[in-house]
Structure 1
Amino acid sequence: MEFLSGIAGALVLALVLSSVLRTLVVPRGLYSVLVFRLWWLLRRALRLTTAPRGGYDAIDRKQTWLAPLMLIGMLVCWLVGALVGYGLLLHALSPLSWTTAFREAGSSLFTLGFASGARLKLSVLDFMAAATGPILIALQIAYLPTLYAAYNRRELEVTLLLARAGEPAWGPEILARQWLVDTETALPQLYRAWERLASDMGESHSTYPVLLTFRSPRPYRSWLVGLVAVMDAAALQLALAPRSAPPEARLVLRAGFTALRDIARALRIPFDADPSPQAPVRLSFAEFDAAAAMLETAGFRSERSPKEAWPHFRGWRVNYEAIAYELCRRCDAVPALWTGPRDFPGAPIPPLRPMDRRPPAGRPELPPAEG
């Protein structure tokens, strides 16, 4: 029995150490079972506290607590795991009873010092337990500035996108607003900023997946919806007006779907790494045609008809649509147009004016989004 207890204790400590290193130390998007199981559990627990017919606003209020609960939950799981591991080892290597072994493990792990013994052969194990608690807490504290620095960089660009893309963001809205106010020459700068941000998010969100649970300060903003909107705007411009589209449009698309694929690998989301340009997408031609008509009303000069441009737009979108839809679903992102279905009821929300929360006047009606 003592032998089995020792093996079990060593295994638990190895799992805790592996999870800590994967989550906090190793600078690579390594899969951590603890992080994603905890995310799955807490997300569903918060969903259960929402009214059965609660829409997006109710979901967003509850999911705001997901990130802090994740941070606290990870630390608690690691400390409890270390307590169990050291308790099993102390029971295996000494004549202590189960209760006394776990009491001494807790005393050492949390440096309380209320339990002690004169067993010289266990002093190394006691010192290891005493060092583990402070190290775990120190690593978690050092982890927070990194998370919030990445979060602030992300949210700054998302906030700046508000005037260009509406709230929630939508790709055709970006192009329409630029042509309505004659600021289309600012699009290359926007694409360059989001190319850099996409690369930043691909690195930070795959290395620290807990960032996916951090929501924007405002319910109708989302880094993921914003990235999809900028990529859709670039794809629309390349499809409808390829000769006048800036080269930055291709660069932001490449950076965008590369970032989404890096995050998908960290989350073990399957995807086609080399999709065919002729592969189908869930966005319908009717939605694309309505968006092209809206752009024409705004003054956008198309070089191709919607029917001619559709295969080109689909060839771009097939690279990122499936991953973007799955991430939007898992993150319970605001259900903006062209971002796929969610796990809660509600129709897609079109861009609203940030000041009065009413749809802009004079816009052609769009058909209901299918995804």
Structure 2
Amino acid sequence: MRVLLGLAGAVVVLGIFSSVLRTLVIPRPSSSGFTQVVQRLVHRPFQLLADRVPGAAGKDRVLAPVAPLSVVITLIGWLVSLLLGYALLEAAASALGPREALVEAGSSLFTLGFASGNRVTLNAIDFCAAATGPIVIGLQIGYLPALYAAYQSRETEVTLLQVRAGSPPWGPEILARYAQVELLDSLTDLFRNWERWSAAVSESHTTYPVLIQFRSPRADRNWLIALLAVMDAAALRLAFNPAMPRAEIRLALRAGFVCLRQLADIRGITYDQDPDPDGPIRLDYADFLNGVQRMREQGYPMERTPEQAWPDFRGWRVNYESLAYRLAHDIDAVPAPWSGPRRTALAIDAPRTPMDRRPKG
């Protein structure tokens, strides 16, 4: 029995150490089964409640605490599991009963020192437990600044996009507003910035997957919907204006769907590695025409007709549409045009282009 207790304790302690290292220390995508289970358990009751709340703003208020709370619960789960693991090791190395073993392990793990057993056989276990508690808590404290720095970096570009695409953002609205204020030549800068943004999000959100669940400060903004809007604007630009410079636009599109694929990998979502450019997409032609009409109303120049541009646009969108729709459904992102269905039906209001108030003549 003692051998079994010792083996069980060692498995628990080593497993939790592995989870801590994968989550907080290793700077690369490395999923931890323990943290994934904790995050699902925390997320489920909030999601069930959000599914019963009418309106996007109400859902956002319910889901906003989920990601920060899961970080705290994960730390508590690690410490409780380590307490149980060390208690099993204490019981295996001595004649301590369950209560005495828990007290001994807790006293050492949290460096309280009130229950020293004065047993030579327990000293090594007590020393390990005494080092473990501060190390885990210290790593978590160091982890939070990195987590929130990545979050703030992500949200800065999302907030800047509000002026360029409204809230929630929409691909045709980006091109419409740039045409309205005669800034189409600066679209290259937008796509270049979002290429870098996609690379940064890909790195940070695969290293710290809990960031995927962190919601924007406002209910009408969402990082995924913003990325989708920029990618749609890039696809529209390529489809309607083949004579324009294309390098930065193609790079932004490529960075965007690579980012979505890497997020899908970390969440275990399957996808087609090489989709057929002529394959079907879920956005229908009528919705496409609505977006084109918004662009035309603001004077966006088009070298092609919608009929000519549609095959090219569809060929680009097939690379990222299904992943964007799936992730938007999973995180219950704010509803927006061209972003797919949500868990519950919600009204989708397209952002209106601001009135042109420049003096005439």
Q: Which amino acid aligns with 2:151?
A: Y
Write the mapping of 1:115-264 to structure 2, written as runs, cut at 5 A: 115-264=115-264
Distance 2:50 2:334 in 1: 16
Equivalent residues of 1:167, 1:351 under 8 A apart: yes
Moved more, 45-54 or 212-221: 45-54
Displacement of 1:160 in angstroms is: 0.8
Alignment partner, residue 366 of structure 1: none
Alignment partner, residue 98 of structure 2: 98
Closer/same/farther in 2, CA of residues 184 and 153 from structure 1, 3 Å limit: same
Write the mapping of 1:75-114 to structure 2, written as runs, cut at 5 A: 75-114=75-114
Equivalent residues of 1:9, 1:87 under 8 A apart: yes
Equivalent residues of 1:5, 1:88 under 8 A apart: yes
Distance 1:332 1:51 in 2: 9
Moved more, 227-236 or 306-315: 306-315
Equivalent residues of 1:240, 1:309 under 8 A apart: yes
Alignment partner, residue 58 of structure 2: 58
2:287 is paired with a residue whose SS is: helix
Closer/same/farther in 2, CA of residues 106 and 232 from structure 1, 3 Å limit: same
2:276 is paired with a residue whose SS is: coil
Equivalent residues of 1:227, 1:256 under 8 A apart: yes
1:347 is paired with a residue whose SS is: coil
CA RMSD for the aligned pairs? 1.6
Distance 2:112 2:52 in 1: 45
Alignment partner, residue 356 of structure 1: none
Q: Which amino acid aligns with 1:165?
A: A
1:92 is paired with a residue whose SS is: helix
Distance 2:344 2:22 in 1: 32
Write the mapping of 1:350-361 to structure 2, written as runs, cut at 5 A: 350-351=350-351
Q: Which amino acid aligns with 1:206?
A: T
Distance 1:74 1:352 in 2: 42
Distance 1:139 1:71 in 2: 12
Equivalent residues of 1:50, 1:58 under 8 A apart: yes
* 1:114-152 CA distance string (max 9 Å, x none): 111121122111000011110000000010111111111
Displacement of 1:236 in angstroms is: 0.6
Distance 1:341 1:308 in 2: 27
Moved more, 150-159 or 300-309: 300-309
Alignment partner, residue 368 of structure 1: none
Write the mapping of 1:338-353 to structure 2, written as runs, cut at 5 A: 338-351=338-351
- How many residues matched? 356
Displacement of 1:252 in angstroms is: 0.4
Equivalent residues of 1:278, 1:314 under 8 A apart: yes
2:233 is paired with a residue whose SS is: helix
Displacement of 1:244 in angstroms is: 2.1
Write the mapping of 1:272-283 to structure 2, written as runs, cut at 5 A: 272-283=272-283
1:336 is paired with a residue whose SS is: coil
Moved more, 40-49 or 129-138: 40-49
Q: Which amino acid aligns with 1:323?
A: L
1:161 is paired with a residue whose SS is: helix
Displacement of 1:245 in angstroms is: 4.8
* 1:94-114 CA distance string (max 9 Å, x none): 100011001111111111111
Give the fraction of aligned pairs with identical amino acids, expressed as a percent: 51
Alignment partner, residue 334 of structure 1: 334
Q: Which amino acid aligns with 2:90?
A: L
Alignment partner, residue 359 of structure 2: none
Equivalent residues of 2:51, 2:344 under 8 A apart: no
Q: Which amino acid aligns with 1:29?
A: P
Displacement of 1:42 in angstroms is: 1.8
Equivalent residues of 2:222, 2:333 under 8 A apart: yes
Distance 1:344 1:87 in 2: 46
Q: Which amino acid aligns with 1:119?
A: R
Q: Which amino acid aligns with 1:93?
A: A
Moved more, 271-280 or 158-167: 271-280
Distance 1:296 1:258 in 2: 30
Write the mapping of 1:4-43 to structure 2, written as runs, cut at 5 A: 4-43=4-43
2:291 is paired with a residue whose SS is: helix
Displacement of 1:246 in angstroms is: 4.1
With structure 1 as the length reference, what TM-score do the two structures score? 0.92
Displacement of 1:51 in angstroms is: 7.5
2:61 is paired with a residue whose SS is: helix
Equivalent residues of 2:168, 2:225 under 8 A apart: yes
Moved more, 229-238 or 295-304: 295-304
Q: Which runs of 5+ in 2 are unaligned?
A: 357-361
1:215 is paired with a residue whose SS is: coil
